[in-house]
Amino acid sequence: MSRSYFSNRRVLVTGGAGFVGSHLVDRLLESGDEVLCVDNLFTGAKANIAHHLNHPRFEFMRHDICFPLFVEVDAIYNLACPASPIHYQHDPVQTTKVSVIGSINMLGLAKRIHVPILQASTSEVYGDPHQHPQTEAYWGNVNPIGLRSCYDEGKRCAETLFFDYHRQHSLNIKVARIFNTYGPRMHPADGRVVSNFIIQALRGDDITIYGDGSQTRSFCYVDDLVDGLIRLMNSPAGITGPINLGNPVEFTIRQLAEIVIEMTGARSKLIEHPLPSDDPMQRRPDISLARDKLDWQPHIALRDGLEKTVSYFRNLLD
């Protein structure tokens, strides 16, 4: 049964030691919630949550959600899954398992204890889109058998499961489609474009771009994203999503590299490499639904967010 008779909620965050998950844990504790952080530490790190280990309302459990979990909580944020190509392609079978079997286990838990559950889905469900910007009604253009398919199709299947549990069992679900997010605590070796560029610039290395750098991305600072996730979780039960959460301001990869070089004072040159397989050429969210249903939009400009992120990686390297 739900623990709603307690003054504070007890909230489960799977993947809570990861980049986004740890920032979500911060915010939930600040709001007065109890937090059960579950992570198998495949890509998460105890360092991301070390400042909470002695907190009276925080509990850490090392656990892989591909195996059932029996706990009593009031809400579940399901963020467990490697999210960078380097990590999710390292063990693609396990990546698919955590999206599918892990989701089944968390949905089963939510059904048993009658609590709302939020799925951290991804803009990768749109694949290499033919629609721009991407709206939630777009079904996507995804290669089902490519190198990225373990993540893209795993997340698509997770969304299917969430909506089937909602229709079949009247489960209170929330599905957020997360676009490119950046900020402190990104894994320094995750291969994502923001961390890659900053690390290379701070080390004085040349910056690697794929193709000619004309492909576009939209970059959302992690604090803005966490605000969107919490607003979605706390929204009325009728708001299930999927809802795009991301920054609609679009930059080319080349522009991002030039901004990072300027902000770090690096003398790095841009080195072009061939495009990876199935790499999307455009990525920008239509966030009309988030504005309308959640009264949410990002507020932190790219340069402001990059300043904090560069400072984090500078300290990490020092």
Active site residues: 151
- Name the one residue in this structure whose structure tokens are 């390297």: 317
Instruction: Assign 119 to helix, strand or coil.
Output: strand
Q: Hey, what are 110's tokens?
A: 């939510």
- Name the one residue in this structure whose structure tokens are 């530490």: 41
The burial class, CB within 10 Å (0-12 / 13-18 / 19+), for 108 is middle
Please choose, from the candidates 223, 181, 221, 198, the residue with its C-alpha nearest in 3D space to the C-alpha of residue 312: 198
**C-alpha distance from residue 317 to each of 169, 203, 256, 262, 307 (Å):** 49, 9, 21, 19, 15
Helix residue ranges, H only, the chain: 19-30, 85-90, 92-113, 149-169, 193-202, 222-233, 253-264, 288-294, 302-317
